[in-house]
Amino acid sequence: MTSQETLYTYTLRLADNALVLGQRLSEWTGHGPFLEEDLALTNIALDTFGTATSLLEYAAKVENKNRDADALAYRRNEREFCNILLVEQTNGDYAKTILRQSFIDAFNILLYTELAKSKDETLAGIAQKAIKEVSYHFRHTSSWVVRFGDGTEESHNKIQDALNELWRFTGELFEMDEVEEALVKQGIAVDAKSFQAKWETQLDELFAKATLKKPETSFMQTGGRKGLHTEHLGYMLSEMQTLPRMLPDAKW
């Protein structure tokens, strides 16, 4: 891999995480549990798409193959997406959506804080802008995790079920391969392993406050970063990409 390809792959991984998560969140708009929360979750979706767009634009520029951000979002096939599996999981009930989001928010705060120091100025700039947003998101989602965990028996059971279901997808957040390793050496990428313990401690504290029990299994699913997805992604992409695929010559 050339250093250009490495940077492209790294940026695209970050971008796809944001794009796919934003797409999932936006499915809630108009259907939230009450009006204020509908607006709040839509805000998170908007921020997430904003970050996705900046990252995709940069990936397109680095790739330099005459593809723009929309082409990357709308014209790649399922196996070319390199988001982690966690973000493509279906929304389920509100507890599952919120818990998934709180995992990502806690992770993103740590990620973007480090990435803001990157030697790559574009990535550093995108990260700086995103830090404020994701800190707000985590304040919102973590407070709901606590409300659900320590609310009613029903809400407790729902979020405990969500935790049991989703925990196996969190290992992928911290995976590193030759792409990240090469870029960490150059001071461009973030070494996610360096803050894994911090992330786990933060979540353990959150689970304790929410009276939730982390699953005992330590087995973690993997594959998304290499294009091996769960069955959910294909449906999401066929919906998302329908118009540009249907009318390939059209501009929107």
Partner 1 sequence: MENKNFEDVFEAKLVKNDMIEAKDWMPENYRKHLIRQISQHAHSEIVGMLPEGNWITRAPSLRAKKVLLAKVQDEGGHGLYLYTAAETLGTSRDELLDALHTGKAKYSSIFNYPTLTWADIGAIGWLVDGAAIMNQVMLQRTSYGPYARAMVRICKEESFHQRQGYEIMTHLSFGTKEQKEMAQDALNRWWFPTLMMFGPPDSESPNSENAIKWRIKRETNDQLRQRFVDQTVAQIEYLGLTLPDKGLKWNETKKGYDYSEPNWVEFKNVISGNGPCNKERLAARNASHKNGEWVRAAATAYAKKNAEPFMAA
**Residue numbers of the site for partner 1 (CB under 8 A)?**
23, 26-27, 29-39, 42-43, 45-46, 49-50, 52-53, 56, 69-70, 73-74, 93-94, 146-148, 150-152, 154-155, 158, 239-240, 242-244, 247, 249-252
Determine the Cα–Cα distance for residues 117 and 124; give it in Å rounded to an integer: 6
Which residue, 201 or 211, has its beta carbon nearer to partner 1? 211
- Yes or no: say if 81 and 227 are a contact pair by the CB < 8 Å rule: yes
Which residue, 15 or 62, has its beta carbon nearer to partner 1? 15
Q: How many residues does the chain have?
A: 252
Shortest distance, position 132 Cβ to partner 1, whole Å: 18
Which residue, 183 or 237, has its beta carbon nearer to partner 1? 237
Shortest distance, position 213 Cβ to partner 1, whole Å: 18
Residue-wise burial string across 170-197, b where 16 or more C-beta atoms lie within 10 A, e elsewhere: bbbbbbeeebbebbbeeebbbebeebbe
Shortest distance, position 5 Cβ to partner 1, whole Å: 23
Determine the Cα–Cα distance for residues 32 and 46; give it in Å rounded to an integer: 15
Q: Which of 212, 179, 14, 20 is nearest to 107 (CA)?
A: 14
Shortest distance, position 219 Cβ to partner 1, whole Å: 30
Q: Which of 166, 179, 187 is nearest to 116 (CA)?
A: 187
Which residue, 46 or 220, has its beta carbon nearer to partner 1? 46
Which residue, 73 or 115, has its beta carbon nearer to partner 1? 73
